[in-house]
Structure 1
Amino acid sequence: MAPPRAPPSPTATNAPSSSPAGGAARSEEDLETALGMANDIISQMDAKVKALEASAEEANAMRAQAARLGEKLTAARRAARERGFGDDADLCADDEIDDDVDAPSGDGWAGAASLVADARSGGWLVRPDDVVLGAEIGRGSSGVTHRAMWRGAPVACKIVDVSSPGRAATFLREVRVQSRTRHPNVLPFYGARVDPPDRCWILTTLCHGGTLKQWLYPKGVDNGTKRPLAARLRIAHELARALRCLEESSPRLIHRDVKPSNLFMSSDADDATAYLADFGLAREIRGGEADATEARETLKSNPNSSSPPPKPSSEDVMTGETGTYVYMAPEVVRHERYDAKADVYSFGATLVELVNGAPPYREYFQTPVQIAFAVADGKLRPELKAAASRACPGIAAVAQECVARDPTSRPSFAKIVDAFDAMLPEVTALEEPAAVAMAKRCRQVPVADVAGRGARAIMTSCVGAPAPEGGEGNAPFVLLHGFDSSCLEYRRLFPLLERRAETWALDLLGWGFTDADDGGIGDYSPEAKRAHLHAFWKQEIGRPITLVGASLGGAAAIDFATAHPECVERLVLVDAQGFIEGLGPMGLMPRPIALAGVNVLKTRILRNTANQMAYCDKATFATEDAMRVGQLHTFQPQWADATLSFMKSDGYKVAKRVSAITQPTLVMWGREDKILDPAYATRFAEEVPNSKLLWVEKCGHVAHLEQPEVMRDALFEFAGIGEEVVAA
C-alpha cells in the first residue's frame, strides 16, 4: 500500500498571495487538512497494529501447542524405543500420517518367511508368470496399482514400494491382515507375491468406481456431490459392517485410517458396493487392550461396578499419530493411549461427510494441521448440517455419538450396525406406504439347530402375525418369495391374510435380510435353504401350514413339501418354477468372473427390466419405487457371495418330484405372465395329483403384488377360512 501523499508545508507557498489575510486563511485550511489526514493515518496504523498483535498471539499459541505435542511425541517415541518398539508417526506431504518409521528392528522383513508359508498353505501365493500387467490405474505413497489379468480374470495388482524397513513391515502387515479378513465390504483379496525388492504385489478385486472420494466428487470437492442421500447412507451402512468385522475378529483389528479415499467402489453407479481397503496401518489388539476395551464398555453400562478396567500390556499400547488429520480422533492427535474407538471417530467423520455431501470442516477454511489442533483442544468436531439433521434424525444421533470427545462414550460398531438396521426405511427412503409398513415390522429371529450349521444361529428376517381372535384353528400361512427377493414382496398380500389367520413371510437363507453371519461364504444351496426353513418351522410355528411359494419360491415350496410332508397341510404355487432344471454352467466359471456376473443382478438396468416384465399393468405397478423395494436386499453385505453360492450349487431341480406332491395344491397363474410361460400352469395341474388351477386375469408374474385381493379371496376359499373370523 502506497503511503499517503504529504500535505503542503504550512510555511511554503505555491503561488504568491494577493493579501496577507488570504494567505493566513489558506495556511489554516492546510493545517486542518494535514491534521485530518494524520488522524486517518494513525487510525489505520492502530488497526493494523492490533491485527498484527492478534496474529502474533495466535502464532505464539500455535507454536506453544506444537511444542507441547512435540514433547509428547518425543517422550512417546523414547518410551517406545526403551520397550523395544518403533515409532508411530511420520508426516507426509498430503497430511496423512505414514507408518514409514513404524518398523521392527532389522531390515523390516521379520515374519516374511512365516507369511510365505501361510500363503503356500492357503493357496494365495501368486506366481509372477500367472499375472499379466496392464495399464496403470492409480498411484499413491505406498505404490502403483495396475489393471492386470490373473488366471484369465481381471484383477487389480498393487505393486508396493518396499524400499525402506518401515515400508517392508507395512507391506507384510497389509498382506497378513487382508489374507485373513473376509467380508463382503472388505476389498476382496486374491493373493500376493512376496519377492523383494521388485515383486511385492497384492492382487484384489478390480474396482471400476475408483475411491469413495472420487465417487462422491467426480468434478472435484468444490463442486459437491450429486449422489442420492439414500445411496450415501447405504455406503455408510456398508462401511459400518466392514468395521464391525474388524472389531469382532480374533484378535481384534484397528484400521487406523478410515476415510473416503480408503474405500473403493465396485462401479460408478449409485448402487455400487463399497469396499474398505488399505490395511497398511492396521494393527491387532491382543490380550490386555482387548480386555480393557470390553471392561470400559461394561463399566459404562454398569457404572456401579467396583472393578476398574485392566491395564493393557505394553505391547498393546498405541499412542502415536496414525491416520489422516481431518478424520483423526482427538486422543490420537494428542498422542494419548487409544483403541478401536479411534476408528469409530473416523467412521463418524466419514458419516458426517456422506450425509452433508462435503468434507468435514469445509466451512472453516483451515489447514489440516489447524483443524487437528482445534480437534485436540475440543474446539472442533465434525457436525451435520441442520437440514441433514432434520431429514435423518436417527443418523444424526449416531453421528453425534461416534464423534464424542470421550472415547468411552462412542458406540461399538455392532451397535452402530444395529442402529442402521433399525432405521431401514429412513436409510433407503422407500415411498410406498405398504413397503414402509412392512419394513418397519420386519425383525430378525435367531434360528438355532439348523442342520449343517453347527451351533451358530441364523438371524432370520421375517414378518409374523399371530392368529386373530377366532382364527386360531386355521392353518398358518407361510409365504416364500421368489429368486433373489425378500419378504417385502408380500407387502400388499400379508396385511390381508393376517386378518383371518396366523401369517408369516420370511426371507429364504441367503436372500432378503436373513444373515447367517458367515459373510455369505457358507452353504446356500437348496438343501441348506430347506434345512433353514425346517428349523424355522420347528422353532416358530410347530404345526401344519399352508405353504405359499411364488416363482422360484414355488420350487422351494415343492422341495420342502415333498421332503417334510408332515409340516405342510396345503400347498399354493403362484407362477411357480418347477420344470426348469438347474442354472447352467455357473459352477464352472472362475470365481471373479462368476461374482461379476452375480453383481449384474443388482444393477438398475437389470432390476428395471425385471420390474417391467413382472407386471401386466406396467404404468401402475412398474414404478421406480417398486424397483428400489426389489433391489433393497442386494445391499446386504452377504448378498453377493450367498447368491453366488446358490448359483454354483446349480439351483433347484424338482421336476421329478412334482408328481410326488401329496398335499391339496392350488396353482395360481397370471394370464399375462411374460416371465414363465403360462403353459407351465397347465402342466402343474396335470402332474400334481390333487390340484386345482386358477387363472388370474389382467395379471402378470406376481399376483400377490398386482392382484392381492383376488389372491386373498382364493387363498381363504382354498384353506376353508370363512368370513365369520373376527379381524385383529
Structure 2
Amino acid sequence: MRRGVRIAAVVTAAVLVVGVGVVANDPFVLVRAQFQGQRLLAGLDAADVSIAGQRWAYVHADDVPANAPTVVMIHGFTGSKENWYPLAERLHGRYRLLIPDLPGWGESERQPGADYGFGAQAERVAAFIQVLSPGKPVVLLGHSMGGGIAALVAARYPRLVAKVGLLDAAGVRFNDNQFGLDVLAGKNPFAVTDAESLQRYIDIVFHRQQAKPWIPWPASSGLIAMRKRDAAFEQSVLDKIGRGQEQFAPGEAAANVHQPALLLWGRQDAVIDPSAMAIYAAKMPQARQVLVDDAGHMALMEQPAAVADAVVQLIDSH
C-alpha cells in the first residue's frame, strides 16, 4: 500500500515537473488549453484543409439534420476562430457551423509576401466556401475586418452566399473616434508589447467589465510574446485595410449585396463606431439593424445570447 502511494506521488511529481517545464518553454500553451476547453464546450471539432496552396485551420459542427443551413463565421483583425465560440455554443445543433482562422491568422498558414488585405482574403473565403459547402449557398457572418471581407464575398459571389451578417464591420468611413484617428495616423492601436498595452488592447475591444478575459501570468507572457512576433504582420495588414486604397472597398461593394442581411453593432463600440451601421444600411436597405446595448466591439463575446437571437432571426426568416 505504502509502495503504491509512493509510486503515485512520484508519478504526480513527474507530471507536475513536466507540466512546469512545458509552460516555462511555451507559456502560450495555457491559452491554447483554454481554447481547447471552449471548443469542446461548444461541440466543435478541429480540422484543416489545403485550398489553392494555402493551409486553413478551422473548426466545425456537422451533427445537424441534412437540410440544416451552413453558417460560415469570419473573424476580425488580430482575432481568430475562437472569438466565435460563445456564439457557436448557442447555435450548435441547429445549423452546420464552419469557423476558420483566416489565412495569415491563428493556426492557419501565413505565407511571406502574400496579400492579406480585404480583396485577397475575400477571394480566399469564396474558395473556402466552394470547397467546404459545394453547391450549397451559406449564411456568411463576418466580424470587424471579417465583416468587410464578408461584404465583398456576398457582393462578388451571390451564388455562394444566401444570407449575410455584418457584425461591427470595418470598411466604411465612420464618425471619428480615437481608434480611427490613430489608424489614419499610421499607428496600430491594437499593438501589444507588454502587460500595460495588453490591458489597453482588452479595454479597447471590450466594454463590459465582466466580459473582459482574465489572462494571468504566465499565459499573459506567452500572449504578449506572440503579439510582439506578429507586430510587423499586423502593421502590414492594417496599412492595407485601415488606410490603403482598399480601406473602403467593402462599403462600396455593399451596394451590390442584395441578399437578406443583418447589421449588428455594439452600442459602445470604441473601435468601429456605431455610425458605420447607418452607412452600410444606406447601401443595404434590406438589412435588419440591431444595436446591442452594453456591448463594445466584441458584442459577439460580450452579449452572445443577444447576437444569437439576431442571427437565428436572420437565418430562419423567409
Return the TM-score normalized by structure 2. 0.76
Residue 551 (str. 1) matches residue 144 (str. 2): yes
Structure 2 counterparts to residues 665-704 of structure 1, below 5 A: 665-704=261-300
Structure 2 counterparts to residues 484-563 of structure 1, below 5 A: 484-516=78-110, 518=111, 520-542=112-134, 543-563=136-156
Distance in 2, matches of 1:461 and 1:690, equals 33
Q: 1:661 aligns with which of 221, 237, 257?
A: 257
Residue 647 (str. 1) matches residue 238 (str. 2): yes
Q: 1:390 aligns with which of 16, 36, 40?
A: 16
Residue 573 (str. 1) matches residue 163 (str. 2): no
Per-residue CA distance 1:206-253 (angstroms, 9 max, x = gap): xxxxxxxxxxxxxxxxxxxxxxxxxxxxxxxxxxxxxxxxxxxxxxxx
Paired residues, number: 291
CA apart distance, 1:559 = 1.4
**One-letter code aligned to 1:673:** D
Change in CA separation of 1:526 and 1:677 when aligned onto 2, cut-off 3 Å: closer
CA apart distance, 1:392 = 4.3
Distance in 2, matches of 1:461 and 1:691, equals 31
Aligned counterpart, 2:51: 448
Q: 1:624 aligns with which of 214, 223, 226?
A: 214
CA apart distance, 1:434 = 5.4
Distance in 2, matches of 1:634 and 1:557, equals 30
CA apart distance, 1:569 = 0.6
Distance in 1, matches of 2:143 and 2:308, equals 14
Change in CA separation of 1:438 and 1:526 when aligned onto 2, cut-off 3 Å: farther
Unpaired runs of 5+ residues, structure 1, are 1-384, 400-419, 450-456, 587-593, 723-728
RMSD (Å) for aligned C-alpha atoms: 3.8
Larger Rg: 1 or 2?
A: 1
Distance in 2, matches of 1:626 and 1:702, equals 20
Per-residue CA distance 1:95-115 (angstroms, 9 max, x = gap): xxxxxxxxxxxxxxxxxxxxx
SS of match in other structure, 2:253: helix
Structure 2 counterparts to residues 64-143 of structure 1, below 5 A: none
Distance in 1, matches of 2:126 and 2:202, equals 31
Change in CA separation of 1:433 and 1:446 when aligned onto 2, cut-off 3 Å: closer
Change in CA separation of 1:537 and 1:696 when aligned onto 2, cut-off 3 Å: same
Residue 613 (str. 1) matches residue 204 (str. 2): yes
SS of match in other structure, 1:625: coil
**One-letter code aligned to 1:555:** G
CA apart distance, 1:560 = 1.3
Change in CA separation of 1:685 and 1:530 when aligned onto 2, cut-off 3 Å: closer
Per-residue CA distance 1:501-533 (angstroms, 9 max, x = gap): 1001111121122114x3x33332323212221
CA apart distance, 1:441 = 5.5
Aligned counterpart, 1:465: 61
Q: Which has the higher contact order (CA 8 A, sep 6+)?
A: 2
Distance in 2, matches of 1:570 and 1:697, equals 24
Aligned counterpart, 1:283: none
Distance in 2, matches of 1:547 and 1:633, equals 31
Structure 2 counterparts to residues 62-461 of structure 1, below 5 A: 387=13, 389-390=15-16, 392=18, 426-428=29-31, 435=38, 437=40, 443-449=46-52, 457-461=53-57
**One-letter code aligned to 1:571:** V
Aligned counterpart, 2:76: 482
SS of match in other structure, 2:285: coil
Distance in 2, matches of 1:525 and 1:549, equals 15
Change in CA separation of 1:506 and 1:656 when aligned onto 2, cut-off 3 Å: same
CA apart distance, 1:686 = 2.8
Distance in 2, matches of 1:513 and 1:700, equals 26
Per-residue CA distance 1:105-164 (angstroms, 9 max, x = gap): xxxxxxxxxxxxxxxxxxxxxxxxxxxxxxxxxxxxxxxxxxxxxxxxxxxxxxxxxxxx
Change in CA separation of 1:641 and 1:577 when aligned onto 2, cut-off 3 Å: same
Change in CA separation of 1:522 and 1:552 when aligned onto 2, cut-off 3 Å: closer
Distance in 2, matches of 1:533 and 1:438, equals 26
Q: Is contact 1:549–1:557 with CA below 8 Å preserved after alignment?
A: yes
Return the TM-score normalized by structure 1. 0.36
CA apart distance, 1:577 = 1.5
Q: Matched residues, percent identical?
A: 21
Change in CA separation of 1:557 and 1:436 when aligned onto 2, cut-off 3 Å: closer
Distance in 2, matches of 1:686 and 1:566, equals 23
Distance in 1, matches of 2:76 and 2:264, equals 15
Q: Is contact 2:42–2:88 with CA below 8 Å preserved after alignment?
A: no
Distance in 2, matches of 1:674 and 1:548, equals 21
SS of match in other structure, 2:272: coil
SS of match in other structure, 2:86: coil
